[in-house]
Amino acid sequence: WHEIIMEPILDTLTQSTRPQRRPSQRVIQAIDQFCRQKEWAMNVGDEKGMHHVVNPATVLELGTYCGYSTVRIASLLPPTPIARQIIAWAGLQDKVQLVEEASGDWIPKMRTEFGVETFDLVFLDHWKDRYLPDTKLLEDCGLLRKGSVLLADNVIFPGTPEYLEYVRSSPQYESQYFQSHLEYTKVEDGLEKSVYLD
Ligand SMILES: Oc1cc(-c2ccc(F)cc2)cc2nccnc12
Ligand SMILES: [Mg+2]
């Protein structure tokens, strides 16, 4: 359902804003044209091409050179999740590490997998029953520091009562509610900002 909903968002973007990146085929065509007309280069090229493989999922390329064949091969890979396309369309792919796994599985691996010491900001906007366990996991894994901010969406609607009770009663947090409305509606909702005091 989510991919179906997100597709029109991506379509709207691609029709209404300038891309931060060029579709891969235009990149390949531009390099082939340059190497054919201006300066030869040792790319696999458009004649040998990459026609002999079908739908690879895991690929090892030995010898990247300028990235020409990397682009050719990557364009054969399974479609990129919509969120990754939207992030790339905004030109922010180099700043974002997208992890498509359960939060409870990955929070304990943040330090070893991504070298994260502590988070300055945690934006909680996932499954409502994960807000509290994931917050406790962040504490237990030492991923919060004095001043780390937890910003939680939907604390009123759909609602996260256990999480609210925890951050508002814990001496480890200074919590503040910012009343607003459920996105694009008049239903009450809001954000809870909780500063970790350590
Ligand atoms: O902001 C949000 C709103 C809703 C939601 C649910 C039911 C409704 F009727 C309307 C809105 C679900 C969400 N799930 C995850 C993260 N954020 C959400
Ligand atoms: Mg939300």
ipTM of the complex: 0.98
pLDDT on residue 5: 65
**Residue 20: what pLDDT?**
53
pTM above 0.90, yes or no: no
Atom of ligand 1 nearest to the CA of 189: 1
Among 178, 111, 170, which Cα is nearest to 135's? 170
Q: Give the CA-trace dihedral at 51, 55, 61, 64, to 10 degrees.
A: 60
Q: Is the CB of 129 under 6 A from ligand 1?
A: no
* pLDDT top residue among 62 and 10: 62
Q: Which residue has the least CA distance to atom 17 on ligand 1?
A: 125
Average pLDDT, stretch 102-126?
95
State mean pLDDT over 48-66.
Answer: 88
Mean pLDDT of 74-80: 87
Place of tokens 């350590």: 198
pLDDT value for 126: 95
pLDDT of amino acid 78? 85
Q: How confident is the model over 5-31, as a mean pLDDT?
A: 76
Neighbours of 6 (CB within 10 A): 15
Q: Minimum-distance ligand to the CA of 158?
A: 1
Is the bond leading into 158 cis (omega within 30 degrees of zero)? yes
If one compares 51 and 95, the residue with the highest pLDDT of the two is: 95
Q: Which residue has the higher pLDDT, 133 or 53?
A: 133
Position 3 scores a pLDDT of 61
d(CA 96, CA 85): 12
Mean pLDDT, rounded, for 79-107? 91
The answer to whether the CB of 185 falls within 8 A of the CB of 154 is no
In this structure, what are the phi and psi dihedrals at residue 191, rounded to the nearest 5 degrees? -110, 140
